[in-house]
Amino acid sequence: MNNLKKKLRFLVWYIAEYIRTHFVLFIIAFSLVFISILFLASLKTILNRNIFGEKKKIGKIGNYRYDNPPVEVLNLISKAPFEINSKGQIIPVLVDQWEMRENGKVFRIFFKKHLLWNDGTSFKVDDIISNLPQGGKIQKLDDFTVEIQLDKPTIIYPYYLTKPIFKYPLIGIGGDFFIKNIQLNKDQTIKKIILVGKTEPITVEFEYFNSEHQLINAFKLGKIDEFELQNSESLQTLTNWKNTKIEKGVNYNQLVTIFFNLESELLKQEKIRQAIELLLPWQELSKYGEIAKGPIPPNSIFFNKKLPAKEQNQEKAETLISTVLSDLQSATESAKILDKTISIKTDYRLLSIAENLSEKLNQLKIKNQVEIINSINDLNFDILLVTWTVPPEVDQYFFWHSTQFYSNDNSSEKKANITHYVNLKVDQLLESSRSTLQFSEQIISLYKFQEEIVKDKPAIFLYFPYNYRVIRKQIL
């Protein structure tokens, strides 16, 4: 037993002395091993990205078909004939030059020669002539030149050529990616689109889901590595994930808006619309997005910074409504108007806002009923609360000009004035912004247009929604 203890004591002494003597070598060896592990891990990542290729798996919500391609895909696989710079000016991209004649009645677009589609075939105007914005006679002059004779002159026609072009089936031109594969669901909607970089070894997979729940579950299961949502409450379960990063931004391409049907006996009263704006909980709404002052985003050069701020004032709203009722011609007419139930139609994602408004209107003895709609095509409404895709600044004509009343018939003519708004001054300003040859005059027209539309309130512009981008962190 004593002999064993002596041997153990000697072994401990020997190891301690060896370490003391070679301590520096131990430190160097340990450091080299640690650095080697980090280097190999980094090398593996570099090889995967630069030799085997980086791979992104992005989830989206939406139902798309070949004839209704996702915008995020089009922007990667293709270019537009023109783009708009930060000053609102038109810049040719796929076009060599363009000519405007007869004060905006005729346009000639000269496309660049030697352009190639992503499938390797040469570009010709025949490929896209049927997809060009309508509104007149479109004529091919040669393989690279097209002439558009508009029914009504407008100098802003090139603004309508700022969306990426493609030919069926989703073949782009001039983009950084091409489509490698498209997977379809049983109903022929797009399930997944796989893109491959033209010059960089990168693959991007877009997978499409029907709901937020499916999207978040796919992320948790590792099927996707990135997605975006506007509802921060849905992301509560991911906020504490150490390998997850959430980036907050503002989506200026969308605007949550209340549209009024101005043919409604009650809502055509301007003071009623003013009262509804005063009833809204603006402080609470600011949690969902950046409060909007008007229909043009604040990041636009055409945005009027002098528009008034929004406020909530219950007492003032009650006074306005009382004034309207007292101004009516007779008690019988007043009772008739108030007896009618106002329909408030909305998307399910905005239901809480609609219910809040409904409750406040009930308190003021205005009957109403909230209804969830599944499609924006259902435009039989009194009040419509939806997320509006913001058009280009100079394209507001179709939403507010008095000649653009929307109807539910199958007319192919593009009309979007769903509120049936009529204001001759606004008509004039919108026409001026589309016809003036001076950029400074266009800005003035759109500034005044915003002032008028905010004063009249055919719609109340609530907020540009916050956007939350969820990314899985890369671990070495």
At 22 the pLDDT is 63
d(CA 154, CA 147): 14
Helices 314-327 + 270-279 axis angle, to 10: 160
Q: Cα dist. 58→206, 239, 460 in Å?
A: 5, 19, 34
At 194 the pLDDT is 94
d(CA 70, CA 60): 10
| Of the candidates 336, 390, 394, the residue with the CA atom closest to the CA atom of residue 367 | 336
First to last CA, the chain: 51
d(CA 247, CA 255): 20
d(CA 81, CA 102): 22
Residue with tokens 């929307």: 406
What pTM value is reported for the model? 0.79
At 43 the pLDDT is 52
| Alpha helices (H) along 312-350 | 314-327, 331-339
At 359 the pLDDT is 94
Please say whether the beta carbons of 144 and 113 come within 8 A. Answer: yes
State both tokens at 302: 């055409």
State both tokens at 84: 């708009």
Which strand (E) or helix (H) includes residue 37? helix 23-50
At 6 the pLDDT is 60
At 288 the pLDDT is 93
305 φ/ψ angles, rounded to the nearest 5 degrees: -75, -10
Please say whether the beta carbons of 354 and 371 come within 8 A. Answer: no
Structure confidence by residue, pLDDT tens digits, 240-267: 788 889 899 999 989 999 999 999 989 9
Report all structural domains of the chain as residue ranges with CATH numbers, in order of start: 54-68+173-249 (3.40.190.10), 79-161 (3.90.76.10), 254-465 (3.10.105.10)
At 418 the pLDDT is 92
Sites in the chain below the pLDDT cut of 50: 45, 48-49, 476
At 263 the pLDDT is 92
Chain length of the chain: 476
Beta bridge mates, 259: 384, 459
Q: Cα dist. 232→239, 242, 247, 468 in Å?
A: 10, 18, 11, 7
3-state secondary structure of 245: strand
At 37 the pLDDT is 65
